[in-house]
Structure 1
Amino acid sequence: MAFVITRPCCNDASCVSVCPVNCIHPTPEEPEFRTAEMLYIDPESCIDCGACVDACPVGAIFPDGELADEDEPYLRLNADYYLDHDGEAGEAPLRRAPKLPDGDVYIAVVGAGPAAFYAAEELVRFGSVQVDMYDRLPTPYGLVRAGVAPDHAATKAVERTFASTERKKNFQYRLDVTVGRDITLDELADRYHAVLHASGASTDKKLGIAGEDLPGSVAATEFVAWYNGHPDHADDVYDLSSERAVIVGNGNVALDVARILLTDPDELASTDIAQHALEALRTSSIREVVILGRRSIADGAYTNSEFLSTGLVDGVDVVIDDADLTVSPQIAAQLDDGTVDSTIGSKVRLAREYAANGTHSADRRVVFRYLTAPTEVLGDSAVTGVRIVRNSYDAQGRVCPTGETSEISTGLVIRSIGYRGQVVDGLPFDEETGTVPNHAGRVVNTEGEHLPGQYVAGWLKRGASGGIGTNRFCGQETASVIVEDIVGGAMPTPPLHRDDVVAMLASRGVLPIDGGGWSNIDKAERTASRAVGSVRRKIVTIAKLREAATGPIPG
Structure 2
Amino acid sequence: MGPRGGRRARAAARRPREEGAHALRRHHRGEIELVTRNKLRLAIVGAGPAGIYAADILLKAERNFDVSIDLFDHLPAPYGLVRYGVAPDHPRIKGIITALRDVLDRGDIRIFGNVRFGTDLTLDDLKRHYNAVIFATGAVKDADLNIPGIELEGSYGAAEFVSWFDGHPDVPRTWPLEAKEVAVIGNGNVALDVSRMLAKHAEDLMVTEIPDNVAEILKASPVTDVHVFGRRGPTSVKFTPLELRELGELRDVDMIVSDEDFDYDDAARAAVSGNKQVFVIDKVLQQWRQREVGQASRRLHLHFFAKPLEIVDDGTGRVGAIRYERTAPDGEGGVVGTGEIRELPIQAIYRAVGYFGSPLPGVPFDTKFGVIPNHEGQVMVHDEETGDARQVYGVYCTGWIKRGPVGLIGHTKSDAMETVRHLINDLGNWWNPESPDEESIVELLDERGIRWTDLDGWHRLDEHELALGSAEGRARIKVVPRDEMVDISRGEA
Coarse TM-score class (shorter-chain normalised): 0.7 to 0.9
When the two structures are aligned, how many residues end up with a matched partner? 455
| Residue 366 (structure 2) aligned to one of 430, 442, 448 | 430
Runs of 5+ in structure 2 lacking a partner? Answer: 13-34, 383-387
Which shifted more, 375-384 or 248-257? 375-384
Which shifted more, 360-369 or 456-465? 360-369
Superposition deviation, residue 397 in structure 1? 4.8
Alpha-carbon distance in structure 2 between the residues aligned to 1:538 and 1:334: 42
The answer as to whether partners of 2:185 and 2:351 remain within 8 angstroms in 1 is: yes
Deviations 1:297-350 (A, max 9, x none): 111011112111211222222111110224454224565xx4x32222332232
Alpha-carbon distance in structure 1 between the residues aligned to 2:465 and 2:7: 27
Alpha-carbon distance in structure 2 between the residues aligned to 1:313 and 1:284: 16
Alpha-carbon distance in structure 2 between the residues aligned to 1:144 and 1:372: 31
> Residue type matched to 1:247 in 2?
V
Deviations 1:514-544 (A, max 9, x none): 1122222112211222233221111111111
Deviations 1:184-238 (A, max 9, x none): 1121122111100000012111211122112211000000000000011142422
Residue equivalent to 1:252: 189
Alpha-carbon distance in structure 2 between the residues aligned to 1:424 and 1:108: 15
> Residue type matched to 1:242 in 2?
A
Does structure 1 residue 544 correspond to structure 2 residue 476?
no
Alpha-carbon distance in structure 1 between the residues aligned to 2:333 and 2:38: 59
Alpha-carbon distance in structure 2 between the residues aligned to 1:196 and 1:236: 35
Q: How does 1:252-271 map to 2 (within 5 A)?
A: 252-271=189-208
Alpha-carbon distance in structure 2 between the residues aligned to 1:327 and 1:185: 53
| Residue 151 (structure 1) aligned to one of 89, 92, 97 | 89
Residue equivalent to 2:74: 136
Superposition deviation, residue 140 in structure 1? 0.8
| Residue 534 (structure 1) aligned to one of 474, 478, 484 | 474
The answer as to whether partners of 1:221 and 1:416 remain within 8 angstroms in 2 is: yes
Alpha-carbon distance in structure 2 between the residues aligned to 1:476 and 1:151: 31
| Residue 500 (structure 1) aligned to one of 440, 457, 474 | 440
| Residue 375 (structure 2) aligned to one of 425, 439, 447 | 439
Alpha-carbon distance in structure 2 between the residues aligned to 1:159 and 1:389: 42
Superposition deviation, residue 552 in structure 1? 6.0
Residue equivalent to 2:44: 109
> Residue type matched to 2:82 in 1?
V
| Residue 132 (structure 2) aligned to one of 180, 185, 194 | 194
Alignment CA distance shift 1:395-1:529 (3 Å): closer
1:279 counterpart SS class: helix
Q: How does 1:364-375 map to 2 (within 5 A)?
A: 364-375=298-309
Residue equivalent to 1:13: none
Alpha-carbon distance in structure 1 between the residues aligned to 2:8 and 2:167: 36
Superposition deviation, residue 146 in structure 1? 0.3
The answer as to whether partners of 2:461 and 2:488 remain within 8 angstroms in 1 is: yes
TM-score by length of 2: 0.87
Calculate percent identity across the aligned residue pairs: 33
Alpha-carbon distance in structure 1 between the residues aligned to 2:152 and 2:378: 41
Alpha-carbon distance in structure 2 between the residues aligned to 1:480 and 1:334: 36
> Residue type matched to 1:532 in 2?
E
Deviations 1:80-104 (A, max 9, x none): xxxxxxxxxxxxxxxxxxxx96522
Residue equivalent to 1:85: none
Residue equivalent to 2:250: 313
Residue equivalent to 1:353: 287
> Residue type matched to 1:352 in 2?
Q
Deviations 1:23-74 (A, max 9, x none): xxxxxxxxxxxxxxxxxxxxxxxxxxxxxxxxxxxxxxxxx979999xx9xx
> Residue type matched to 1:206 in 2?
D
Alpha-carbon distance in structure 1 between the residues aligned to 2:203 and 2:483: 29
Residue equivalent to 1:512: 452
Superposition deviation, residue 365 in structure 1? 2.0
Which shifted more, 325-334 or 217-226? 325-334
Alignment CA distance shift 1:278-1:334 (3 Å): closer
Residue equivalent to 2:56: 121
The answer as to whether partners of 2:136 and 2:400 remain within 8 angstroms in 1 is: yes
> Residue type matched to 2:392 in 1?
L
| Residue 343 (structure 1) aligned to one of 277, 289, 297 | 277
Residue equivalent to 1:405: 341
Alpha-carbon distance in structure 2 between the residues aligned to 1:382 and 1:229: 26
RCO higher in structure (CA 8 A, sep ≥6)? 2
Q: How does 1:208-287 map to 2 (within 5 A)?
A: 208-238=146-176, 240-287=177-224
Residue equivalent to 1:471: 412
Deviations 1:398-453 (A, max 9, x none): 42222222221122211100001111222222222211122221112223332211
Alpha-carbon distance in structure 1 between the residues aligned to 2:397 and 2:335: 35
Alpha-carbon distance in structure 1 between the residues aligned to 2:57 and 2:5: 14
1:211 counterpart SS class: coil
Alpha-carbon distance in structure 2 between the residues aligned to 1:162 and 1:349: 34
Alignment CA distance shift 1:115-1:403 (3 Å): same
Residue equivalent to 2:326: 390
Larger CA Rg, structure 1 vs 2: 1
Alpha-carbon distance in structure 1 between the residues aligned to 2:317 and 2:6: 58
2:129 counterpart SS class: coil
Alpha-carbon distance in structure 1 between the residues aligned to 2:38 and 2:379: 25
Deviations 1:122-153 (A, max 9, x none): 22337921110111111110000001110111
| Residue 523 (structure 1) aligned to one of 463, 471, 476 | 463
Alignment CA distance shift 1:172-1:66 (3 Å): closer
RMSD: 2.4
Alpha-carbon distance in structure 2 between the residues aligned to 1:230 and 1:318: 30
2:410 counterpart SS class: helix
